[in-house]
């Protein structure tokens, strides 16, 4: 049974917002526990130039200053994230569709009055009517985030029972729109409680597993939202749940909660179960839940700092000859690093060489289908344009440009998986190569110094192709328009009709070729971006390790030991004080 709102959030002046702890007390507790630890981590990372930890440090600092828990919904394009949030909060405020819709991050929380603000990257945050936020969120109305929106913040009085939570809708991953994927991946460090939306068909992919692993770097509160549960029978749903549980158990030591969900009538029990988990679970344990999230970020930060310093201390305690020998054993010869870079480069080059032929062949299979669809639509539209030659010319050009744009956009979305397959393969190869190099480095550190480097590779952001660029030139010479006042329309209509019909076929061929070029350029650019990022990470990793191994001798050891002790005490204080609180 779901507790009444009054049982969760008593409305009295100065009363606590949760039965366990007031917001102010919770924030003060978080600061008292975390700020000293954050200060230690920041000082150590800066002193030893451990730049790889800067992102996690910034995320932990930001989380410590917040007094709410973000419930982020992440996942692949068309997994049903926006539809879920609309249904769960009881308001259809987020745009949904069969094409990539969400272009920017949207936060939805309780507010005393209904309000929507658009936070621009230049600092402006105008309030807009709630029914107009789609013009900023929607990919169609704000393509590639041309309006430079940082995020949309929505407040609703009806979310009073969820006060203390903010629901976060993120752009879909793996769509044809690169900026959407990058926006979501860049937002990951801010996560509090994460729900990874996974459709029942297919139920779980390796990409979903990778996303879950990435999220665990920032929070222990991760769940799977199994959307579109209405598409399968009860028996099939149980089979899907068993499959997902087995996959999760194989990849994670922790038990990950799975929440089946459907927005269709007759499946209200799924909403009630998730509602109870958030209202009677997360909010009732607000202080505990928030503390565990912050603790995960800070503890990970301190632990990784400690690993780097332990490696540096082992090096400092060795004599110069031993240190250089161990350094060579750990980092290997430069040729080994170059081999890893070369392997990634060759894979990217091979994929780029076949991009144009792959894209062209896929698009050519749709040429006749596209011609038929446009010709059928043309036959329906043409009778509306016959008032004059000028009207026929302008109407056709406007219609064919719009129709081609819509058709080719839909075609790009339909074929995006095929177009992006080489890119995803190269990204996976680069990810594996980087992680293998990290693992080899960790094994080398253990053999040479008795200290592992427990670092995990993160997603490689790539710039994927944007929307098609469709430009349809004039069909007739402008001189024809001069004849419009003197030529009877009935005399030219048949000829114009035939010319337009022929033009449709030519324009389809012309713009499919242009679309092929656009995809080739964009995919190949992304491929080189993956290679460049992989090389940068390899150089940064080996550079960080080499800096840590460089030492003037044993005189550096006392400072390293002192800093390691500071890190250990900071981690211990989190555990002790958390237990005591």
| 3-state secondary structure (DSSP) of residue 356 | helix
Average pLDDT (470-480) is 55
Of residues 52, 1, 14, the one with CA closest to residue 536: 52
Predicted pLDDT at 327: 66
Spatial contact of 101 and 137, defined as CB atoms under 8 Å apart: yes
pLDDT of 190 higher than 70: no
Q: pLDDT tens digits for 328-359?
A: 666 665 667 888 899 999 999 999 999 999 99
Instruction: Give the C-alpha distances (Å, rounded to integers) separating 529 from 210, 245, 400, 517, 534.
Output: 20, 35, 35, 18, 8
What number is the average pLDDT over the span 426-441?
Answer: 82
- What class does CATH assign to 5-304+574-580? alpha beta
User: Over 70: is that where the pLDDT of 33 sits?
Assistant: no
The closest of 43, 32, 543 to 302, measured between CA atoms, is 43
Burial class (CB in 10 A: 0-12, 13-18, 19+), 167: buried
Burial of 580 (0-12, 13-18, 19+ CB in 10 A): exposed
Q: How confident is the model at residue 307 (pLDDT cuts 50, 70, 90)?
A: confident
Q: Which residue has the tokens 């050009």?
A: 397
Q: Report which of 171, 221, 174, 229 is spatially closest to residue 199, judged by C-alpha positions.
A: 229
Q: What is the pLDDT of residue 235?
A: 92
Q: Among the ranges 19-23, 50-54, 512-516, 554-558, which has the highest mean pLDDT value?
A: 512-516
Q: What is the pLDDT of residues 446-465, one digit of tens each?
A: 777 777 776 666 666 555 55
Asked if the model's pLDDT at residue 399 lies above 60, the reply is yes
Torsion of CA 206, 207, 212, 214, to 10 degrees: 120
Which pLDDT score is estimated for 77? Answer: 62
Between CA 308 and CA 289 the distance in angstroms is 29
Instruction: Judge contact between 464 and 476, C-beta under 8 A.
Output: no
Average pLDDT of span 140-165:
82
Report the pLDDT value the prediction gives residue 567, as an integer from 0 to 100. 94
pLDDT at 403 over 70: yes
What's the rounded Cα separation, in Å, for the pair 282 and 266?
Answer: 26
CA 72/CA 56 separation, integer angstroms: 18
Cα–Cα distance measured from residue 423 to residue 524, given in angstroms and rounded to the nearest whole number? 8
User: Tell me, what's the pLDDT at 78?
Assistant: 64
Whether cis (ω within 30° of 0) applies to the bond prior to 202 is: yes
**pLDDT tens per residue, range 308-332:** 888 888 877 776 666 666 666 666 6
pLDDT for 126 beyond 70: yes
Summary mean pLDDT of the chain: 77
Which element (helix H / strand E) includes 257? strand 257-260
Ramachandran sector of residue 90 (left: φ over 0; alpha: ψ -120 to 50; beta: rest)? left
- pLDDT per residue over 62-77, tens digit each? 777 777 888 888 877 6
pLDDT at 14 over 70: no
Cross-strand pairs, 154: 108, 116
| Alpha-carbon gap, residue 194 to 75, rounded angstroms | 10
Which one of 53-67, 345-359, 479-493 scores highest in mean pLDDT?
345-359
The pLDDT, as a whole number, for residue 209 is: 85
**Helices (H), ranges, 143-285:** 178-187, 206-215, 234-251, 268-276
Share of the chain above pLDDT 70, in %: 77
Q: What is the mean pLDDT of residues 489-506?
A: 83
Residue 98 pLDDT grade (very low, low, confident, very high; cuts 50, 70, 90): very low
- Residue-level pLDDT at 541: 78
**555-559: average pLDDT:** 82
pLDDT at 316: 79
Q: In the chain, what are the domain boundaries?
A: 5-304+574-580, 318-550
Distances in Å between the alpha carbon of 522 and those of 80, 396, 525? Answer: 27, 30, 5
**Residue 18 reports pLDDT greater than 50:** no
pLDDT, position 393: 83
pLDDT for 479 equals: 54
Identify the pLDDT of residue 408. Answer: 86
Quote the pLDDT of residue 285: 81
CA nearest to 53, candidates 63, 62, 42: 42
Confidence (pLDDT) at 367: 92
Listed ranges 155-164, 188-197, 450-459; the one with the highest mean pLDDT: 155-164
Helix H or strand E segment including 104 = none
Rounded to two decimals, the pTM is 0.56
Q: Collapsing DSSP states into helix, strand and coil, what is residue 53? A: helix
Of 187-201, 368-382, 558-572, where does mean pLDDT reach its minimum? 187-201
* Per-residue pLDDT at 16 exceeds 60: no
Q: Which range (21-25, 348-352, 488-492) has the least confidence?
A: 21-25
CA dist 75 and 100 (Å) reads 13
Confidence grade of residue 238 (pLDDT, cut at 50, 70, 90): very high
Sign of CA dihedral 283, 33, 108, 203: negative
Mean pLDDT of 134-160: 80
Q: Is the pLDDT of residue 361 over 90?
A: yes
Please give the average per-residue pLDDT across 17-23, as a whole number: 43
pLDDT band at residue 102 using 50, 70 and 90 as cut-offs: low
What pLDDT is recorded for position 483?
A: 53
Local structure of 310: helix, strand or coil: helix
Percentage of residues in the chain having pLDDT higher than 90: 15
495, pLDDT greater than 50: yes
């Amino acid at each position: 049974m779901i507790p009444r709102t009054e049982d969760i959030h008593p409305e009295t002046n100065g009363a606590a917002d949760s039965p366990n702890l007031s917001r102010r007390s919770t924030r003060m507790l978080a600061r008292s526990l975390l700020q000293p630890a954050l200060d230690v981590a920041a000082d150590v990372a800066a002193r030893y130039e451990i730049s790889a930890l800067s992102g996690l440090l910034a995320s932990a600092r930001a989380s410590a200053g917040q007094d709410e828990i973000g419930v982020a919904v992440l996942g692949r394009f068309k997994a049903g994230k926006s539809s879920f949030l609309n249904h769960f909060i009881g308001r259809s405020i987020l745009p949904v569709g069969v094409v990539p819709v969400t272009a920017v991050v949207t936060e939805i929380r309780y507010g005393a009055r209904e309000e929507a603000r658009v936070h621009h990257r230049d600092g402006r945050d105008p309030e807009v009517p709630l029914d107009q936020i789609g013009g900023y969120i929607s990919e169609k109305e704000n393509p590639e985030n041309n309006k430079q929106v940082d995020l949309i913040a929505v407040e609703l009085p009806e979310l009073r029972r969820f006060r203390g939570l903010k629901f976060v809708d993120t752009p879909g991953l793996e769509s044809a729109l690169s900026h959407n994927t990058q926006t979501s991946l860049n937002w990951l460090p801010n996560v509090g409680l994460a729900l990874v939306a996974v459709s029942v068909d297919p139920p779980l992919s390796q990409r979903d597993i990778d996303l879950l692993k990435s999220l665990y770097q920032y929070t222990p509160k991760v769940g799977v939202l199994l959307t579109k549960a209405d598409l399968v029978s009860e028996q099939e749903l149980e089979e899907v749940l068993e499959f997902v549980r087995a996959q999760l158990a194989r990849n994670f030591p922790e038990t990950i909660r799975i929440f089946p969900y459907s927005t269709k009538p007759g499946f209200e029990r799924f909403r009630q179960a998730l509602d109870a988990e958030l209202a009677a679970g997360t909010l009732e344990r607000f202080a505990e839940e928030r503390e565990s999230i912050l603790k995960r970020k800070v503890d990970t930060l301190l632990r990784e700092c400690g690993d780097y310093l332990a490696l540096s201390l082992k090096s400092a305690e060795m004599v110069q000859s031993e240190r250089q020998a161990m350094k060579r054993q750990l980092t290997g010869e430069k040729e080994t690093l170059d081999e890893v870079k070369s392997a990634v480069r060759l894979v990217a080059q091979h994929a780029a060489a076949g991009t144009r032929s792959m894209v062209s062949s896929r698009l050519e299979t749709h040429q006749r289908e596209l011609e038929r669809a446009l010709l059928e639509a043309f036959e329906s539209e043409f009778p509306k344009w016959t008032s004059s030659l000028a009207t026929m010319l302008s109407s056709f050009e406007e219609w064919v440009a719009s129709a081609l744009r819509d058709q080719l956009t839909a075609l790009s979305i339909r074929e995006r998986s095929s177009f992006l397959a080489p890119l995803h393969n190269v990204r996976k190869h680069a990810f594996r190569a980087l992680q293998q190099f990290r693992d080899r480095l960790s094994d080398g550190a253990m053999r040479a110094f008795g200290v592992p480097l427990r670092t995990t590779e993160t997603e490689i952001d790539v710039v994927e192709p944007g929307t098609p660029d469709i430009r349809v030139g004039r069909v007739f010479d402008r001189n024809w328009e001069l004849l419009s006042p003197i030529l009877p329309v009935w005399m030219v209509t048949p000829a114009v009709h035939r010319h337009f019909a022929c033009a449709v076929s030519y324009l389809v061929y012309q713009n499919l070729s242009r679309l092929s070029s656009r995809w080739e350029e964009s995919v190949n650019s992304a491929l080189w971006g993956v290679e460049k990022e992989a090389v940068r990470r390899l150089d940064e990793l080996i550079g960080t390790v080499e800096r840590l191994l460089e030492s003037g001798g044993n005189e550096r050891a006392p400072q390293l030991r002192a800093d390691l002790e500071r890190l250990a005490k900071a981690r211990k204080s989190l555990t002790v004080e958390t237990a005591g609180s």
